[in-house]
Amino acid sequence: MTLSPILPGASLGILGSGQLGRMFAIAARQLGYRVHIYSPDTETPAGQVSDVEISAPYEDLEKVRQFARGVSVVTFEFENVPTLTSRACAEIIPVRPVGDILHITQHRLREKTFLIQHGFPVTPFRRVQTLEDLQAAALELGLPALLKTASFGYDGKGQQIIRSHDALPIAFESLKGAEAVWEAFVDFEKEISVVAARTQDGQFAAFPVFENRHANHILDVTFAPALIPIELATDAVNLAREILEALKVVGLLTVELFVTRQGRLLVNELAPRTHNSGHLSIDGCITSQFEQQVRAICGLPLGATELRRPTAMANLLGDIWIRAGGSPDWCSGLQDPIVKLHLYGKTEPRLGRKMGHLTATGESVDEAIARVITARQRLAL
């Protein structure tokens, strides 16, 4: 369906109400749009800064349709929106990216099957539905390996490392009947990500390649430019472009990639939305990933993505609040005037819960990283 650009003054709809929706809403309002949020939750990070917040189950399709009638376009801020929900919106208004893309990317087996069928490099994998499947995969692809639930996995949830054949029966029982995927172990050097946008008329723009470091399976620090050869960064962006073209994305898509010790790129996961690793674009790039998402789904020209200076981001988890015995020491954490604080409006800190992030720039990547890590340490001395 070809439509005229959706211009400032229109209302944009978001399925989901977390911090990605919050930062999208802020960017949209800066561009002059109104923002409507739909999710089952109340008092949400996105709802706090939106014009309209509808709290209802995703399965209530009549309320979903009513939500869609009040906006000009619908987008996502997380993957686990039921397919029927996006289809109900699409009956009334454009959904960008389309729900079929969400259907592929919210399920690891569908996603990996799509990638391999289109010739994109992925880790060897096998479908697991029975204990016999699991045992055969272990024999064929070897150990150690990763066993992941096919659905509802993020920040390390729903996955486990299997190191011995003796562990297979217990690992299978832990799935509790869920479909799973067995992934061969990848001896990778680092993980990078490419956040890219594509418009309805095929305009494409990618942000600088981000390099990601994790702690306990949760993104800890991201920086740009990634410390990889220029040729490899170019290859990563070209690979992302081909994936967005193959999926016919209108909106944003994040491609997470492994860089093997042999210098090869392997696609790890796709996310049809903005991404935690792209948060540094708010302070580090000419256009943030959230403004770019608005531009892409509304059919506006895409913004410039160049990095102003080397930039780093550090996640702030609830662990910091707990270590601080309450509120972190914000004055100490912000001693460095270059450091920027972004909080998500969440009132209940929990271990592993993303409460906000810090960003900083520097003359070099190392300087930017040192700044955000030092600032984070000061929060709970």
Q: CATH code at 222? A: 3.30.470.20
| Cβ contact 24:293 at 8 Å | yes
Domain boundary among 139, 165, 184: 184
Give the end of a domain, one of 184, 217, 232.
184
173 and 204 share one domain: no
Number of H helices, E strands in the chain: 13, 17
Same structural domain, 278 and 327: yes
173 and 255 fall within a common domain: no
Alpha-helical runs (H) found in the chain: 19-30, 61-69, 83-90, 99-105, 108-117, 131-141, 168-174, 230-247, 281-284, 289-298, 318-324, 330-333, 365-378
132 contact partners, CB below 8 Å, separation of at least 6: none
- From the number of C-beta atoms within 10 Å of its C-beta (0-12, 13-18, 19+), residue 246 rates as middle
* pTM, to two decimals: 0.96
Same domain? For 308 and 337 the reply is yes
pLDDT by position in tens, the chain (length 381): 446 999 999 999 999 999 999 999 999 999 999 999 999 999 999 999 999 999 999 999 999 999 999 999 999 998 889 999 999 999 999 999 999 999 999 999 999 999 999 999 999 999 999 999 999 999 999 999 999 999 876 665 678 999 999 999 999 999 999 999 999 998 899 999 999 999 999 999 999 999 999 999 899 999 999 999 999 999 999 999 999 999 999 999 999 999 999 999 999 999 999 999 999 999 999 999 999 999 999 999 999 999 999 999 999 999 999 999 999 999 999 999 999 999 999 999 999 999 999 999 999 999 999 999 999 999 998
Tell me which residue range forms the domain holding 87. Answer: 11-95
Same domain, 192 and 174: no
Is the bond preceding 208 in cis, omega lying within 30 degrees of 0? no
Q: How far is CA 64 from CA 52, 79, 84, in A?
A: 14, 17, 10
Judgement on whether residues 233 and 299 belong to the same structural domain of the protein: yes
